[in-house]
Amino acid sequence: WLLNVLHRDQKDKKTGGSIIHDCFQGEVLVTDAQSEEGRKTPFLYLTLDLPPAPIFKDSLDRNMIPTVPIFDLLQKFDGETDSGPTPLQRKKCSLYKLPRYLVLAVKRFSKNNFFVEKNPTIVTFPVKNLDLREYVHPDALEDNPVTRYNLVANICHQGKPHDGFYKAQVLHAPTNEWHEME
């Protein structure tokens, strides 16, 4: 991924750190639901899972495009929600260290035995003051006084999974104008 490559190329040989880690690296506390043992795991971006796309059409035979608030996707980081494919692999996650800049990756593509599918679900989110306070572990709140984020860029995929393209919308802060790039 881009941030990993940039970190590798910019890494200080003595400390192993980089400006990429200084700006984008946070930590998630992952707790095993069975043993209650927790470990801190670094991240450069958080992956958010969409609910499955509907397989039924509406009364006019049109595909329904669902909408989900970003807070529903962030719920897996509330420290209480179990996640994992089987009961033995269940874990609970909470944010432990927030980065200066938060990158969220919505997992929109899935692969089955035959082809790649794109989930069309629309994610709604606040452009200003996305507050992650309720997802920060209680023991880490004091170390994370800033829990609010403003949107400064968005990348979206348009088209079909194999022949689509990406667009980026970027905020030009001095003029408060959004610009789109292909």
Round to whole Å and give the CA distance between 151 and 149: 7
Pair (86, 159) in one structural domain? no
Pair (75, 165) in one structural domain? no
Pair (143, 89) in one structural domain? yes
Q: How confident is the model at residue 14 (pLDDT cuts 50, 70, 90)?
A: confident
Pair (69, 27) in one structural domain? yes
Pair (112, 168) in one structural domain? no
Inter-residue contact 155 to 167 (CB < 8 Å): yes
What domain count does the chain have? 2
Higher pLDDT, 180 or 7: 180
Q: With 70 as the cut, is the pLDDT of residue 1 above it?
A: no
Work out the percent of the chain whose per-residue pLDDT is above 70: 95
SS3 (DSSP) at 101: coil
Q: How confident is the model at residue 44 (pLDDT cuts 50, 70, 90)?
A: very high
Pair (156, 145) in one structural domain? no
Domain range holding 162? 152-182
Residue 65 has a pLDDT of 83
Residue 167 has a pLDDT of 94
Q: With 80 as the cut, is the pLDDT of residue 87 above it?
A: no
Predicted structure pTM score: 0.84
Pair (91, 36) in one structural domain? yes
Alpha carbon distances (Å) from 74 to 29, 77, 129, 179: 14, 6, 15, 27
Residue 175 gets which letter from DSSP? T
Pair (34, 77) in one structural domain? yes
Q: With 80 as the cut, is the pLDDT of residue 57 above it?
A: no
Pair (96, 170) in one structural domain? no
Average pLDDT score over the chain: 88
When pLDDT is averaged across residues 74-98 and rounded to a whole number, the result is: 87
Pair (166, 140) in one structural domain? no
Alpha carbon distances (Å) from 104 to 14, 58, 126: 30, 31, 13
Pair (101, 158) in one structural domain? no
Pair (86, 9) in one structural domain? yes
**Residues forming beta bridges with residue 42, ordered by sequence position:** 27
Residue 41 has a pLDDT of 96
